Amino acid sequence: MSTVEILGTAQDAGVPHLGCRCENCETARADPERTRYASAILLEDDGRYLFDATPDVRFQLTEIPDGAFLTHAHLGHLTGLLYFGRESVDADELPVYATLGLRDVIRENEPLGSLVDDRNVDLRSVVDDAAVPLTEASVTPFRVAHRESLPTGTLAYRIDGPNRSLLYASDVDTLTERVESLIRDVDVALVDGTFWSRDEIDRVEDVPHPTVSSSMDALADADTEVLFTHLNHTNPLLDPGSDARERLESAGFRVADRGDSIEL
């Protein structure tokens, strides 16, 4: 059997968010139960595979995994890779899967390049729609649109277990036809839930994400169990007593929580 454990559910910078005094952030500072780590999951097959190397990885894992799948080159998804280096656990050729472009960026730029020179990581490039077989499960990367200015690209991952399938799409700019069909094709989907609505931040056009409320409309008739993750500190869904949370749950959707586990 394969199991996916949810390790983190926040936008890259976590909750609380540095420099922010909003109610969600102040609540999280006062109550550790309300802190959220950056979005990541762990697949347990015969081995243990991390998806997204977050700056919170030292709280999310207690041991070196057997492999790590990277989605893209932003703060919450890449920088945790440094914890596999000599200043930390000094991993021994940890297989790290990424796009060809991201593989080259890691190899050629410090401080990440030292991970390759010191053989802490063994970089492996993945290709759109080409499955990586593990023991029981298989992992298939799909290119998704997210900040086209990022030349290294962005991936969502589909995990097929012996019985069920899961999509991990932590960061997408919009719910394109492709993303929507990837969601509809699986049993469980972890979907970009950064913002509930477009009025949460001033510069929303600079950081496009599908709003949770629009995704709920688009996916209302989907058979997939949809959990929203990658929540920004401004998102009212962070408050379990909010009207937004009530609307989400009464429509049959959920907010992903750290510690949730999903059997595949």
Residues found near Zn ion in the complex (CB under 5 A) = 12, 17, 20, 22, 25, 74, 76, 171, 233
Say how far apart CA 181 and CA 188 lie, in whole Å.
13
In one letter, which amino acid is 211?
T
Say how far apart CA 35 and CA 258 lie, in whole Å.
10
Quick one: 22 or 64, whose CB is closer to Zn ion?
22
Say how far apart CA 259 and CA 7 lie, in whole Å.
6
CB 21 to Zn ion: min, Å: 7
Quick one: 74 or 103, whose CB is closer to Zn ion?
74
CB 76 to Zn ion: min, Å: 5
CB 72 to Zn ion: min, Å: 6
Partners of residue 149 on adjacent β-strands:
none
Quick one: 138 or 174, whose CB is closer to Zn ion?
174
CB 146 to Zn ion: min, Å: 6
Quick one: 68 or 134, whose CB is closer to Zn ion?
68
Say how far apart CA 197 and CA 201 lie, in whole Å.
9
Q: How far is CA 207 from the centre of its chain?
A: 16
Residues ≥6 apart with Cβ < 8 Å to 217: none
* Unique residue bearing structure tokens 């036809």: 177
Quick one: 25 or 126, whose CB is closer to Zn ion?
25
Q: How far is CA 78 from the centre of its chain?
A: 11
Q: 200, exposed or middle or buried, with CB in 10 Å at 0-12, 13-18, 19+?
A: middle
CB 150 to Zn ion: min, Å: 7
The pair of three-digit structure tokens given for residue 123, joined into one six-digit string? 């970089």
Quick one: 53 or 134, whose CB is closer to Zn ion?
53
Q: Does an H or E element contain 3, and which? A: strand 3-8
In one letter, which amino acid is 248?
L
CB 168 to Zn ion: min, Å: 12
Quick one: 12 or 44, whose CB is closer to Zn ion?
12
CB 93 to Zn ion: min, Å: 27
The pair of three-digit structure tokens given for residue 96, joined into one six-digit string? 């790290």
Say how far apart CA 113 and CA 97 lie, in whole Å.
15
